Structure 1
Amino acid sequence: MFGSTILDAAIGIIFIYLLVSLVISAINELIAAMLKSRAKNLSQGIQALLQDPSQAGWVARLYQHPLIQSLSPPNSKPSYIPSRTFALALLDLIAPASTDGSRTLADLKAGMVNLPEPLQRTLTNLLDEAQHDVERLKTQIEIWFNNGMDRASGWYKRKTQWIQFFLGLSLVILLNIDSVHIGRALFAVNSPLRASLVESAKSFVAEPGGANKPIKDVVDAISTASLPIGWTEVPKRDQWLTIALGWLITALAVSLGAPFWFDLLNKFVNIRASGKAPEEEPKPPKEVPAPKEPGG
């Protein structure tokens, strides 16, 4: 019984963290779209890759190439560039192809002379890896680009986590989403909240969409779950420290992101669904033969 209570309480609080994380993710994506954060991060990644500190040289020329310009509306930068497109555009800037579409090794080496020295060294190493084959060089440039974009994605993810933490902290204070208070409510004896959240969590994970559910579904889930959040009364002076700790725990939890909490919730719901092995039915006590009477 106690183990079942712990599991159900864990499902309840994970479900709450998931819902809050989904709201924070939606707000973060809206801010990122308004500020064009992904496009800026990509541009910074390419700037680091081409080792162009000014962004006025080869980075600008690359973004002006027709292959790159076709990836976004006019007067805006793309938020994603395929590695093959990057390789073709860069090679075309270094050594434009002839009328028949071919590009010789001699043309390429002549064009590389005009590159900044750091970029020239990098491409010389890539050309050596490609065994001085132009077609293989395209593949090497793609690998180089993908590795650079992995690093840029790491930068973006770290920045996003900090943004999600501060967004989460703001939201949990505004809505008083206190993990300590929620935990107490979930661990209460015969808690109707615990049973309600478990059922809501089971329905939520069963629906399609995973951690990318529409915000309308998230809002509906929050409105029907009767969550123990919000400001119902002014806390007493000696309660503020515990409340602040609860806010901090919630903010740190939601900074882990919705995919983390969705996967964890799915595992816990599956564990609960698998259930315990049925207990063996008690056997009736063995009959003890009555003692024989003396002389019998």
Structure 2
Amino acid sequence: MLSVYVDLALGLVVSFLLLSLLVSGLNEAVVRLLSIRSKFLWAYLRDTLDGSDAQGRSWLPAGVRDVFAALPFQRDPRPRHSGRPAPAQAGELPARAGGSDDALVTLLYQRVREIDHPKRGRTSIADIPPGRFAVAVMELATGAPGGVEGFLARLKEIGSPLHGPLNGVWETAQRDLDRFRQGVETWFDGEMQRLTMLYRRYVRWVVTVLCVGVTLLFTVDGLEHAKTLLRDNAFRASVTAVAEAGPAAYDELKARCTGGDPVSCVTETLSRPALARMLGQAPLSVSIPAEGEPVFAWNGGVWWDRLTTPSHWPGFLLTYVALLFGAPFWWDVLRRLTGIRSRR
């Protein structure tokens, strides 16, 4: 009896894992297609280095709508890609306010563009290691007239928001260049962690919408799927009983496979597990016959009937809540149930 519940748990976990992976894949596809990570990073860098845009607006998105509307399509904060190597000497900042409104972003990109490759004419850099950022700041600071002190004075003159953090790090380092570099690295690492938390907060809403979409697209009723798994287990048990008990147990299978050959019925049933039937509830389904090419079928009417049937709604809610846990959670549950050890 215990094996029945183990089979049920494994079937549900594998199903939720595959659906969660589908949600993660769709989310990653949207993020990569719109270059959200790269734009998020450079929006932060523009706010931190050069301040707001000409209209006084922050470059970082103020809400979920801005992440997937303004950021991808209206205000691209990324610098234009350049295939040239970084110049030997860092450029100079403007001497007074009113100069280039992206002077520091341009200078920073010059120092890190060796790791770049183009994406529709813009940079694709989505992650700058804190150590590399600290080295770039040191190159800009030591190359400026007056060294770090002169660099900080220029930042103050042009009204860069970077002046406050760097000035605090410089004072804390007691004007020691090595400690200053380490301080800049630590500060930028903390800023990247804060930015990651902000990014995940926005993306969590997108994942929530994708979970709803996947659940309703495949009309995955978690409760119905659990019952199907139990029925499949009972059917396999009855087939085994026929093999062991002989013709005396054949009547049960004939009752299940009315109007056809029980052998072909058993073969067809066992070749279509509960997972395949669950994913076959989408508006467009595909079946692979024993011979020939795959056959696509439109199930719009059946899909809509399932979607509008109130008895399925609790199962949809169960599937939706399960997908919110994410693929890592279900993979960990699967490892614990099967004893699979992770390789590190």
Same fold (TM over 0.5): yes
Conserved? CA contact 2:221–2:319, under 8 Å: yes
Conserved? CA contact 2:20–2:326, under 8 Å: yes
Query: Out of 180, 191, 199, which is 1:137 matched to?
Result: 180
Give distance in 2, aligned partners of 1:223 and 1:158: 37
SS in 2 for 1:228: helix
SS in 2 for 1:116: coil
CA pair 95-17 structure 1, distance change in 2 beyond 3 A: same
CA pair 193-9 structure 1, distance change in 2 beyond 3 A: farther
1:95-244 matches, within 5 Å, as: 95-96=142-143, 104-114=147-157, 116=159, 118-188=161-231, 190-191=233-234, 225-231=275-281, 233=302, 240-244=309-313
Which residue does 1:66 correspond to in 2?
110
Give distance in 2, aligned partners of 1:252 and 1:131: 53
Query: Out of 76, 79, 86, which is 2:133 matched to?
Result: 86
SS in 2 for 1:226: helix
Conserved? CA contact 2:50–2:105, under 8 Å: no
Q: What's the RMSD between the two structures over aligned residues?
A: 3.4
Conserved? CA contact 1:95–1:107, under 8 Å: no
Conserved? CA contact 1:45–1:148, under 8 Å: no
Q: Structure 1: which 5+ runs fail to align?
A: 195-221, 272-296
Conserved? CA contact 1:165–1:255, under 8 Å: yes
Conserved? CA contact 2:218–2:280, under 8 Å: yes
Which residue does 2:27 correspond to in 1?
28
What per-residue deviation string (whole Å, max 9, x for no partner) do you get for residues 18-64 of structure 1? 1111122222212111100110121233345447222643553345x
Once the two structures are TM-superposed, the CA of residue 159 in structure 1 deviates from its matched residue by 2.4
Give distance in 1, aligned partners of 2:127 and 2:303: 48
Conserved? CA contact 2:20–2:327, under 8 Å: yes
CA pair 182-140 structure 1, distance change in 2 beyond 3 A: same
Conserved? CA contact 2:219–2:306, under 8 Å: no
Once the two structures are TM-superposed, the CA of residue 119 in structure 1 deviates from its matched residue by 2.8
Conserved? CA contact 1:95–1:111, under 8 Å: no
Conserved? CA contact 1:42–1:79, under 8 Å: yes
1:27-46 matches, within 5 Å, as: 27-46=26-45
What per-residue deviation string (whole Å, max 9, x for no partner) do you get for residues 228-268 of structure 1? 34337468799822322322332332233222211121112
Once the two structures are TM-superposed, the CA of residue 152 in structure 1 deviates from its matched residue by 1.5
What per-residue deviation string (whole Å, max 9, x for no partner) do you get for residues 112-139 of structure 1? 4435364322212211332321121111
SS in 2 for 1:173: helix
Aligned length: 238
- Identical amino acids, percent of aligned pairs: 26
Query: Out of 116, 122, 129, which is 1:76 matched to?
Result: 122
Q: Structure 2: which 5+ runs fail to align?
A: 54-58, 60-100, 238-271, 282-298
What per-residue deviation string (whole Å, max 9, x for no partner) do you get for residues 138-189 of structure 1? 1111111111111211222222222222122212212121112112223448
Give distance in 2, aligned partners of 1:28 and 1:51: 31
Conserved? CA contact 1:28–1:163, under 8 Å: yes
